[in-house]
Amino acid sequence: MFDFKDHVVLVTGAGAGIGFGIAHAFHETGARVALGDLREPALARAGERLGRSERVFTGAMDVRDGHSVAEFLKAAESALGPVTVAVANAGIYPNCPVLDMTTEEWDRVMETNLRGVFLTCQAVGRSMVAQGTPGKLITISSGAYNSGRRGAAHYCASKAGVVMFTKVLAMELAPHRINVNCIAPGLITVDRDVNQVSDEYVRTLVGTIPWGRAGAPEDIAKAALFLASPFAEFITGEVLSVDGGSGTGRTWLPFSGPARGR
C-alpha cells in the first residue's frame, strides 16, 4: 500500500522500541533510513536487524545538542541523500513525584523530550526549505499530553509542549509545503530496557483500553507511514492518537443508568 522507495527517512531514538519500529516499517516500504540514537549498542543491534545495506545509515547522536543533531543530519544526507521524512521520536520516561524532583531531573526530561524535538525539526526543516522541496515532519508526543499521571509532571509537561510546538511549526512551514504532524501513542509494549514500567501499571492501564490490549511499535509505525504518505497531503498541525481508545474518556466507569440491550 505504501511505497517510499524514493524517500530518505530520518528517525531519532531509533535504536529500539517505537523508534526502531518506525525505521523498520519505512525500510520495509523501500525507503533509505537514517537511524540516530544516543545508545550505541542499541544502534548497532538495530543496524544488524535491518541488514546493513546501502539503504541504511546509523549514527550516534544526542538530540539535546544542536551540533550533534546537525552533524548527524549532514552525515545521513551525505550517505543517503536529502531527507524527505523525519520522525522526532527520541524521548525518556522517568518517574518522580514533584516534591522530590530535582531541577536536574526536570531539565533532563525537557532537554530530551522537548528541546530534542525542536532541534531535530529545526535542522531538518532548514534543510528541506533550502532544497525547496516538500517534506514531512512527524513528532512523537503521548497520551500524557492531555492526561496527567502522578509521578510524571516533567514527562507530561514535555509532551504537551511537543503538541503545541508541532502546531506552530505546521503554520510556519505550510508555505513551504512541509507537513508537520504529531502522533500521540497510548500504552505501547516495548522491551523492558527501553521503558521501565511495573506490571501493575500495565495491567491497570490495559483494563481501561476499549480495544482490550496494549499497542505495539508497529501500531505507531503504521500511523507514521500514513502521515508521511500522499494520503495525508492536506493534513498538518494535527495530533493523531494511537491508543486503542484509551483517550476517549473515563472508560472504567459503569453505565450511569440501567443497562439496556447489549
242, 183 in Cβ contact below 8 A?
Answer: yes
Nearest to 185 by CA among 239, 144, 243: 243
141, 121 in Cβ contact below 8 A?
Answer: no
Residue 34's φ and ψ, nearest 5 degrees, are -110, 115
How far is residue 155's CA from residue 218's CA, in Å, rounded to a whole number?
Answer: 23
Q: How far is CA 99 from CA 103, 104, 152, 240, in A?
A: 11, 13, 12, 32
Nearest to 84 by CA among 45, 47, 30, 43: 30
In the block, residue with C-alpha cell 525547496: 132
Nearest-5° Cα angle at 91, 224 to 110: 125
**201 is annotated as an active-site residue:** no
Q: How far is CA 11 from CA 98, 154, 197, 199, 224, in A?
A: 31, 23, 24, 29, 11
Catalytic-role residue among 93, 145, 155, 201: 155
Question: Catalytic residues, which ones?
Answer: 155
